[in-house]
Structure 1
Amino acid sequence: MTPRQPSPPPSRPRAPENYDPADFVPFAVTVDLAVFTVRESSLHVLLVERGEEPYLGHWALPGGFVRPRESAGQAARRELAEETGLSPDTVAGLRPEQLRTYSDPDRDPRMRVVSVAYTALVPDLPEPRGGGDAAQARWTRYDDGGPGPLAFDHGRILADARRRIGAKLEYTCLATEFCPPEFTLGELQQVYETVWGVVLDRPNFRRKVLTSPGFVEPVEGPPRRTGGRGKPAALYRAGTATALHPPLLRPEGRNTP
């Protein structure tokens, strides 16, 4: 029996004859990235100082225009590497998550610009350095007041991103990546408190962690002595789970700001 030949790929559809691109006002597409990490027991966000107008000298999220022959995801990785000096290997390992699209007509004074925003919460990121359109780049502490006024609508994007990464800790095991290979439950709790911006009840947190299948595993051997007067704390390592069932929810009414 003669093998069936594969069908040729479909031809690219043609635009209708009555379609005129000039009937629509052109606009640009950009990408913006809200990248967070935990440093010195505080939540930090990666910011760049703009080296050109508009908003010359203002701090902003890394990002820029999408080129004609690249996707938004490709543009996000390229702009992040160009403006922060992070190595291609570091950028490739970030796995940024698409946050949402920002399309208010007057969000950019140059022209109509629609931005696709991404966010990521990643441990052990190196010191950045400015490049491309950025005069400098730095990790900025995100305390209760945030990093201060940002260019464009980046303050709004940053607030939305903060809520997203907070929610991600509720249903994934990401928090263990910010702990040593062997850690106490107190160290794990500190990660949650840093990202969520709340103080958690210790016994309740411990109960939820230990009853979440595959979240953590006990380490054989003697417990670790802590700086307090209490008994030595048991050690744990990250378990095999990647998602939390049920999720470890933030205290009701105390959402991340």
Structure 2
Amino acid sequence: MTETVEGLSINLATVRQQWGFAEAVEGCLRHGIHAIAPWRDQIAAIGLDQAARIVREEGLQVTGLCRGGFFPASDAAGRRAAIDDNRRAVEEAAALRADCLVLVVGGLPAGSRDIAGARAMVVEGIAAVLPDAVAAGVPLAIEPLHPMYAADRACVNTLSQALDICDALDPPQTGALGVALDVYHCWWDPELEAQALRAGPKRLMAHHICDWLVPTRDMLTDRGMMGDGVIDLPAIRRMVEAGGFSGPQEVEIFSAEHWWKKPGDEVLATCVERFRTVC
């Protein structure tokens, strides 16, 4: 029997080009990995009931479901549709017993230059979904994205901004609303350590790892394997743990020209080796 790799989760985007959900789970188990974070399209492809059955039968920890969010829209109908989709995402996360639903909040509506307005729509959207998440027992984790994504993917770009939203919507820190800290998006932030401590154990809900390559050939699909870039992963791990996070580190790598072209088992074996030696 393969030894369990404690403290490691695999975001299934890391092997999305090699495997579907069931095959990815089988691969993780072959390598002793018992924590995963699937994406909603991967769940839809196999069916929610079947995915939930696999999670239960294999005793998997689902460290997060990716993703909800994308709240801003150019009209009220679009904003309502986004809220409805997020409510469905909450239901899916509950069925999978996910530790959290990760929110990539969305950028500017088409044709807009009003980033403050987009951020206001984000707050309104999260506020609308939060009661459903509380009722389902699914924490919402806002994931701030690197500023290069502010226009199209996420107008919340620092841990401080994300925590300000948490404080506004959940001031008692009930555990219903928090943050997902992805090193790819936050490693550059001079306030990262202070904000991780500010977040504390009730707000820190996920810790995603990979590396930043120099040069980066594509903003979205050229993330590096841990140890291949410039991020000080042990330092950020210390910050996150000092803030009270004790869950698995979740490897999330989008790599169209490298890791997505490798056999899935090679990718997972490398994730395990780098987790043990680099992180």
* TM-score category, normalised to shorter length: under 0.3
Normalised to the residue count of structure 2, the TM-score between the two structures is 0.25
Larger Rg, first or second structure (1 or 2): 1
